[in-house]
Amino acid sequence: MCIEQRIQEIAQNQNTIFYFIEPGLSSYKNIMQLYSQRNNDDLLRYLFYDFYSIQGLSHEKREKCFKYFLNNTGESKEDFYNVIRKITGRNELSLATKLFHTANPKDGIIIDSHVCNFCGRKGEKHDFQLWSNIQNDFIQNGFNRLENFFNNLFPDDRGISPCKKIDFMIWGWGKWKKWKKMSIET
């Protein structure tokens, strides 16, 4: 299935996809507010770990990543990615993009399994080059239509960055696909 077909699936099912996005949108806005205020790092840490499902890392490594994230907002994407990779000892593109986006909401595209599947890049090595490739996919394939779908579904949330709106639509699409598959199997 090509990207255009996936965009059409979202267009045809956006009212259902809304229900998959809405709870996460509330958590995301809380995280962004707490990050900008920086007055309750314990609550921010809890919400961040819960929302972004950071799994498979020791408490010590998660804490090092979180502290780096809190204290280093001026880093480039590649520097952010490389530091997270050094802290975790593994390729953590998804975590790096989430941390980078939260610190730089106007400039961050989040890369996770839903985005990779949507862009037809499932199975590609999750490294910094994939981040650049997917950003190009967003630009070249008219993903601004996904931003428009988001604006129609959530008219009160126009202050969210275009990249995050696209990410939410793709994430909702991934959740919708999973739900659809489960409902067919039962």
End-to-end CA, the chain:
24
Q: What is the pLDDT of residues 45-93, one digit of tens each?
A: 888 888 776 777 888 988 888 888 888 767 788 888 888 889 988 877 7
Q: Tell me the C-alpha distance between 81 and 96, whole Å.
A: 5
Are 63 and 71 a contacting pair, CB within 8 Å?
A: no
H helices present in 38-157, as ranges: 41-51, 59-71, 77-88, 93-103, 113-118, 128-140, 144-153
Helices 162-185 and 3-37, packing angle to 10 deg: 120
Q: What was the pLDDT predicted at 9?
A: 92
Short-list 4, 30, 178, 13, CA closest to 102: 30
Q: What is the CA radius of gyration of the chain?
A: 16
Q: What is the pLDDT of residues 122-153, one digit of tens each?
A: 777 767 777 777 777 776 676 788 889 999 99
Q: What was the pLDDT predicted at 10?
A: 92
Q: DSSP code of 13?
A: H
Q: Would you state the structure tokens that stand for residue 4, as one six-digit string? A: 């255009």
Residue 66 or 107, more confident = 66
Work out the number of other CB atoms within 10 angstroms of the CB of residue 78.
13
Amino acid at 165: K
Q: 127 — phi, psi (to 5°)?
A: -135, -175
* pLDDT above 70: residue 7: yes
Q: Tell me the C-alpha distance between 138 and 76, whole Å.
A: 19
Short-list 131, 178, 175, 173, CA closest to 3: 173
Q: What was the pLDDT predicted at 139?
A: 66
* pLDDT above 80: residue 113: no
pTM: 0.81
